[in-house]
Structure 1
Amino acid sequence: MTLQLKSGDTVALVACSDPIAPDRRVQINDLIGYLQQWGLQVVESKVLMQPHTIQASQEKANELNRLFADPQIKAIFDISGGDLANGVLPHLHYEQIRTAQTAFFGMSDLTVVLNAMVHQSHIQTYHYQIMNLVKEKGAEQRQQFYRTFFEGASDLYDFDFDFVQGENLNGDVIGGNIRCFLKLVGTPYFPEVSGKVILLEAWSGRAHRIISMLDQMDQVGIFATCSGILLGTFTEIEQHHEWDLIQQHLLKLTAKKPIPIVKSTGIGHSSNSKCIIIS
């Protein structure tokens, strides 16, 4: 069941990855203001703005566990990104998360948490950054968010795509940011890939770096067992007009098993990116 909100519901903001810079406080307050205009009660993690310390991962996990244990909280939105999200994974209460029926949202480095919860707690999670509501395309994003999560429409889930290979792509989606997804390989938190559609997107990384990551995915058997690939935006690649190199390399890697591949500009780090369910 997908998330549905109403006036009077409570939602929470957390930051499981890198510390939130103090100068983002104004933007966060703007976000809270919009959520409150819709009648939502907003609570913050007690360590939302805390600088990184040796105990930070444990403290962030403790807060996330506390919020999942609160039956009043309908959704938890992570507003962070960066590198540090792996640190919370050993400290999460996955059985409690499974029974909580609380929606969890994040993207970028939160790819590791989204997929760990799918694998360990057997829940669906949401690849979406709620800070989009106060970015360049904020007015459009707010309209789509409200229609989707308050009115039951599909606006925030709908995105255009083109086939790179194949003609049909179906299945549950796992993955997210390519670099962060690969941080799970070899850990107990890496999800089952067999029969799944693999979502891949990236903010940073030129062609050589992304090609090396695709090679790693191929070498650990992901492309041999998944049902297809959904490519979102690769911001730095596209800024430097290197997308053809990536596409050609991916077609080469999948030549023996030509799985469906689609490309969309609607999923990724841009301020008008859509939401996709990870399951």
Structure 2
Amino acid sequence: MMEKNYMAAIAACSNGLPAGKRQELQRLDKLLEQNNISVRMSRYLYEKSDGISGSGREKAEELMDFFENPGIRCIFDVSGGDMANEVLGYLDYQKIRESQAVFWGYSDLTVLLNAVYAKTGKESVLYQVRNLLYDDGPIRQKEFFGWIKEKKEALFLLNGNFVQGDHLEGTVIGGNIRCFLKLAGTPYFPDFNDKILFLEARSGQVPQMTTFFSQLQQTGAFDKIKGLILGTFTQMEAASKNIVPLALRYVKEDLPVFWTLEAGHGTDSRAVIIGGHAVTVSESRIMTKN
């Protein structure tokens, strides 16, 4: 059951939000408070100019304050964009490892989710908490608060199908493919050996995805992983293009590949635990667990 005095933080480690998002975050704050989650807001949520809300060091120090606060259980990053990797060099990964707080974010926060796992082995959650406010909000609210309050796992259950193989199991890395590849060649790029790689994208058509999959192939990723999960590829799907045939060009014929439309940039997206354990539930369902 959920602890009393449950505290969460709202952060923005990537691009600052436009000022027009203030009312939305006030609604999110109210929703969390109504569910007995007290909220601390970052000082660097809103852009001052050119998407910048603060320096990389300032945002990192704010984030570390949240990780070091013994009362904070979850840190929900509500941003996205391009600039999250500027905080990575200013973080204290030993203190993050020791913290009870779990980081949640999506899109550009892929860099932070995977850096935390690579440097600490700690789990984080690929999820945008602002989804609770949108069209599918009531459904996601039930799943989200079911997890927060009672550890019910529906938020992490992904429906889809195996397009190759019929079973996968292992530790999950990855996220947004463009942002994930920003870590290549850095100390924050996770080890691919025996991992399950999850990939999704918001922007980009076939040429861009060809570039990204080619780069992953050139890192040796597809020779090392033991499973691939494909989420939504929003702009490709809007153009009636399917990521599956493209992806299968790059992987071995015996590599399990699971395709789901329930994880990615959609406001109806469910969550994936980066550093968590993926398990096969059935031929049409997988789940990530901590």
CA distance in 1, matches of 2:30, 2:3: 16
Contact 1:194 1:226 in 2 (8 A): yes
Shift in CA distance, 225/130, structure 1 to aligned 2, threshold 3 Å: same
CA distance in 1, matches of 2:71, 2:148: 17
Q: CA RMSD in A?
A: 1.4
Contact 2:15 2:52 in 1 (8 A): no
Aligned to 2:32: 35
SS of structure 2 residue aligned to 1:192: coil
Contact 1:6 1:39 in 2 (8 A): no
Aligned to 1:19: 16
Q: Which amino acid aligns with 2:39?
A: V
SS of structure 1 residue aligned to 2:22: helix
Following TM superposition, by how much is the alpha carbon of 1:152 offset from its aligned partner in structure 2, in angstroms?
A: 2.0
Deviations, residues 21-46 of structure 1 (Å, cap 9, x unaligned): 10011111000001000111100112
Contact 1:267 1:273 in 2 (8 A): yes
Aligned to 1:45: 42
Aligned pairs (5 A) from 1:16-95: 16-51=13-48, 52=51, 56-95=55-94
Aligned to 1:276: 272
CA distance in 2, matches of 1:172, 1:104: 17
Contact 2:230 2:257 in 1 (8 A): yes
Shift in CA distance, 24/53, structure 1 to aligned 2, threshold 3 Å: closer
CA distance in 1, matches of 2:169, 2:266: 24
Q: Please, which runs of 5 or more residues in structure 1 have no aligned partner?
A: none
Following TM superposition, by how much is the alpha carbon of 1:53 offset from its aligned partner in structure 2, in angstroms?
A: 5.2
CA distance in 2, matches of 1:164, 1:53: 41
Following TM superposition, by how much is the alpha carbon of 1:248 offset from its aligned partner in structure 2, in angstroms?
A: 2.2
Identity %: 37
Aligned pairs (5 A) from 1:1-279: 5-51=2-48, 52=51, 56-243=55-242, 246-255=243-252, 258-279=254-275
Q: Which amino acid aligns with 1:266?
A: E
CA distance in 2, matches of 1:249, 1:37: 45
Shift in CA distance, 270/53, structure 1 to aligned 2, threshold 3 Å: closer
Contact 1:6 1:40 in 2 (8 A): no
SS of structure 1 residue aligned to 2:62: helix
CA distance in 1, matches of 2:47, 2:96: 24
Shift in CA distance, 265/50, structure 1 to aligned 2, threshold 3 Å: same
Q: Which runs of 4+ in 1 moved over 4 A?
A: 52-55
Contact 1:7 1:38 in 2 (8 A): no
SS of structure 1 residue aligned to 2:104: strand
CA distance in 1, matches of 2:245, 2:32: 43
Q: Please, which runs of 5 or more residues in structure 2 have no aligned partner?
A: 276-290
Q: Which amino acid aligns with 2:263?
A: I
TM-score by length of 1: 0.95
Following TM superposition, by how much is the alpha carbon of 1:5 offset from its aligned partner in structure 2, in angstroms?
A: 4.0
Shift in CA distance, 12/5, structure 1 to aligned 2, threshold 3 Å: farther
Following TM superposition, by how much is the alpha carbon of 1:250 offset from its aligned partner in structure 2, in angstroms?
A: 2.0
Aligned residues: 273
The structure with the largest strand share of the pair is 2
Q: Which amino acid aligns with 1:203?
A: R
SS of structure 1 residue aligned to 2:267: coil
